[in-house]
């Protein structure tokens, strides 16, 4: 038994801990490049915390998926402003952009030289400039991973900048920052978190440490994602009867009842655990498909993973039963089924059904709604077969099996 485990130097978790951001960032520098999403709404609280700690903040918004050019621009802004620390504040896109900017500030040169697949793949040899991750969604786990996913529109792909030196100095996870997430992002990010627990647990690189993290995370996400989604629907003025965890007579976040708050906390913890697991055990075919799909079509990453996860699990189980009937991964899928259904006799087939029901309840659309058509499948299959996530799938899927997954996902 041999494995390694790497993560952020320090993890700070808990409701209300975002108030400590200024003090934490001040440990690493006094001029911060703060990478955010396109909306500045929640930045005010962080800005006040940084200012109180004596940290001058330069906000750098990233609209949508981070691109190679956005990283180049961010590096230039950070240098112009003499920034000595980077903060990623937002969803996975903002945090990945911050991670990549910090890495390139520390290493110099052009980011393209170091990209996988389309770039030079030259290893990063120097530490990143200190950076702090503050996620505002519960899904990607990017706050504790050692890669940044970047889009290259001219190549039509999303690829990774990857190095152990890219890990955050501090991952500051405050579930309260996710309370305002609307239903769509709650569902998308939550399904991403679930996929990032199920796939590492059944990966060929699974190990005892990530197994324990996945078991705990799967249980929390399975028990809380529906509640978090329903509370988001109710808070956003959704249909009557969907907000049993929320006092809809109260306005905004003050209306979150204790059950909904616990659900949001579980989702933040589950997302964190997913990041820890995937960074150390790898992923699988759902994420293998998601990389080329996200690079070529305007499909949210978590939605793609959620749509594909039941179909990938079903295909993996069928392939394992046919070609490797003694595979211990079949027992792992059954164990996941027992966790999510709370039934002692649940099987891998029950897991497929449970996942399909969850995806349907959360209103996840088929991939065809994002412009993917039958004619796109061969190229997507070819690209997915080369994706790094696909290499950790528990069984090597044939081109025919991969084609079948995508056809059903349309």
Q: Who's near 313: CB < 8 A, 6+ residues apart?
A: 198, 333, 348, 351, 352, 355
pLDDT over 90 for what percent of the chain?
82
> Cα separation of 194 and 190, whole Å?
6
Name the residue with higher pLDDT: 52 or 240: 52
- Among the listed residues 338, 137, 178, 144, the one whose alpha carbon sits nearest the alpha carbon of residue 262: 178
Is the pLDDT reported for residue 242 higher than 50? no
Question: In the predicted model, what is the mean pLDDT of the chain?
Answer: 92
Q: What is the pLDDT of residue 251?
A: 35
The burial class, CB within 10 Å (0-12 / 13-18 / 19+), for 316 is buried
For residue 295, give the nearest of 363, 370, 362, 369 by alpha carbon.
370
For residue 278, what pLDDT is reported?
Answer: 96
Beta bridge partners of 85: 32
Q: What is the mean pLDDT of residues 360-389?
A: 95
Instruction: Check residue 344 and give its pLDDT.
Output: 97
pLDDT at 250 over 60: no
Q: Is the dihedral of CA 399, 402, 407, 410 positive or negative?
A: negative
Listed in sequence order, the DSSP H helices in 108-257 are 183-201, 208-235
Q: Would the pLDDT of 301 be above 70? A: yes
If we measure between CA atoms, which residue out of 62, 57, 49, 59 comes closest to residue 22? 49
CA 216, 327, 309, 203 torsion-angle sign: positive
Residue 252 CB partners (closer than 8 Å, separation 6+): 180, 235
The answer, yes or no, to whether residue 396 has pLDDT greater than 60, is: yes
* Residue-level pLDDT at 258: 84
pLDDT of residue 252 exceeding 70, the answer is no
- Could you tell me the pLDDT band of residue 245, with boundaries at 50, 70 and 90? very low
User: CB atoms < 10 A from the CB of 292, how many?
Assistant: 24
Cβ neighbours around 155 below 10 Å, total:
15
pLDDT in tens, 23-57: 999 999 999 999 998 776 778 899 999 999 999 99
pLDDT for 335: 98
Select the more confidently predicted residue: 151 or 131: 131
CA 187 – CA 221 distance, rounded (Å): 11
Closest-CA residue to 359 (of 319, 290, 311): 311
- What's the distance, CA 275 to chain centroid? 7
Give strand pairing partners of 152. Answer: 157
What does pTM read for this prediction?
Answer: 0.93
- Section 215-231 average pLDDT: 96
Which SS3 state, helix, strand or coil, does residue 388 take? coil
Give the pLDDT confidence of 142-169 residue by residue, as tens digits.
999 999 999 888 887 788 899 999 999 9
Q: All domains of the chain, ordered by start, with CATH?
A: 10-178 (3.40.50.1970), 183-409 (1.20.1090.10)
Give the largest Cα separation in the chain, rounded.
62
pLDDT at 239 over 50: no
Q: Tell me the C-alpha distance between 371 and 406, whole Å.
A: 13
pLDDT bin (cut points 50, 70, 90) of residue 295 is confident
């Amino acid at each position: 038994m041999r494995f390694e485990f790497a993560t952020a130097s320090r993890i700070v978790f808990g409701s209300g801990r975002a108030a400590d951001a200024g003090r934490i960032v001040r440990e690493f520098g006094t001029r911060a490049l703060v990478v955010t999403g396109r909306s500045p709404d929640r930045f005010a609280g962080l800005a006040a915390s940084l200012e109180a700690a004596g940290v001058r903040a330069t906000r750098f918004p990233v609209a949508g998926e981070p691109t190679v050019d956005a990283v180049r621009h961010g590096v230039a802004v950070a240098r112009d402003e003499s920034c000595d620390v980077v903060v990623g504040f937002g969803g996975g896109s903002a945090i990945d952009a911050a991670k990549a900017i910090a890495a390139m500030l520390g290493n110099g040169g052009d980011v393209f030289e170091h990209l996988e697949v389309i770039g030079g793949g030259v290893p990063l040899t120097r530490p990143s400039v200190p950076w702090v991750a503050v996620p505002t969604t519960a899904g990607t786990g990017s706050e504790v991973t050692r890669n940044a996913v970047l889009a290259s529109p001219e190549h039509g792909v999303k690829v990774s900048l990857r190095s152990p030196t890219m890990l955050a100095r501090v991952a500051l996870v405050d579930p309260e920052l996710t309370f305002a997430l609307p239903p769509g992002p709650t569902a998308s990010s939550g399904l991403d978190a679930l996929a990032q627990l199920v796939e590492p647990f059944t990966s060929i690189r699974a190990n005892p440490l990530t197994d324990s993290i996945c078991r705990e995370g799967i249980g929390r996400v399975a028990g809380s994602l529906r509640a978090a989604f329903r509370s988001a629907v109710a808070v956003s003025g959704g249909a009557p009867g969907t907000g049993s965890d929320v006092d809809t007579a109260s306005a905004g976040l003050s209306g979150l009842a204790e059950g909904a708050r616990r659900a949001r906390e579980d989702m933040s913890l589950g997302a964190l655990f997913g990041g820890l697991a995937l960074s150390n055990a790898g992923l699988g075919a759902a994420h293998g498909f998601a990389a080329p799909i996200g690079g070529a079509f305007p499909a949210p990453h978590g939605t793609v993973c959620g749509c594909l996860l039941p179909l990938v699990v079903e295909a993996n189980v069928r392939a394992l039963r046919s070609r490797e009937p003694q595979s211990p991964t079949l027992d792992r899928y059954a164990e996941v089924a027992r966790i999510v259904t709370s039934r002692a006799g649940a099987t891998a087939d029950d897991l497929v059904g449970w996942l399909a029901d969850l995806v349907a309840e959360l209103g996840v659309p088929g991939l065809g709604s994002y412009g993917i058509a039958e004619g796109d499948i061969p190229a997507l299959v070819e690209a997915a077969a080369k994706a790094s996530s696909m290499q950790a799938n528990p069984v090597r899927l044939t081109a025919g099996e991969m084609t079948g997954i995508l056809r059903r996902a349309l």
